[in-house]
């Protein structure tokens, strides 16, 4: 699994890129064989009622899952990243489970 991280935000601390990489490897590492590439982009969004917002976009692609894209907007960087990583892990599990069920041969009924 290749992980590309793009940060275009002046609000984030210097170790934000490390946290993002660790959190995504923890959530998606189990699917490393099914994922070829994971791209994450973090950028500043317009200011909301609670202050400046961050938009995190996660794109994952692989031969079995195709291309998946998720987006999360939040004022807290860690909350946005945690939610995004958990959502992608659940999406991967659902997608791979449906592919596994579809690839199984039909069962024969015993008389």
Nearest Cα to 1, choosing from 91, 61, 41? 61
> pLDDT at position 47, please?
73
Which positions ≥6 away from 36 have C-beta within 8 Å?
A: 1, 2, 61, 62, 63
For domain 2-103, the CATH architecture is 2-Layer Sandwich (3.30)
pLDDT in tens, 52-92: 889 999 999 998 889 999 999 998 899 999 999 999 999 99
Q: Is the pLDDT of residue 105 over 70?
A: no
Q: What is the largest CA-CA distance in the chain?
A: 68
Is the pTM higher than 0.75? The answer reads: yes
Domains of the chain: which residue ranges? 2-103
CB 42 within 8 A of CB 20: yes
């Amino acid at each position: 699994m290749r992980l590309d991280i793009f940060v275009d935000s002046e609000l984030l601390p210097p170790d934000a890129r490390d946290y993002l990489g660790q959190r995504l490897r923890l959530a998606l590492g189990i699917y490393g064989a099914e994922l070829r590439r994971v791209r994450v982009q973090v950028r500043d969004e317009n200011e909301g009622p609670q202050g400046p917002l961050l938009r995190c976009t996660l794109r994952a692609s692989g031969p079995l899952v195709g291309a998946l894209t998720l987006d999360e907007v939040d004022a807290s960087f860690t909350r946005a990243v945690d939610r995004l990583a958990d959502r992608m892990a659940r999406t991967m599990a659902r997608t791979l489970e449906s592919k596994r069920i579809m690839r199984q041969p039909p069962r024969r009924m015993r008389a």
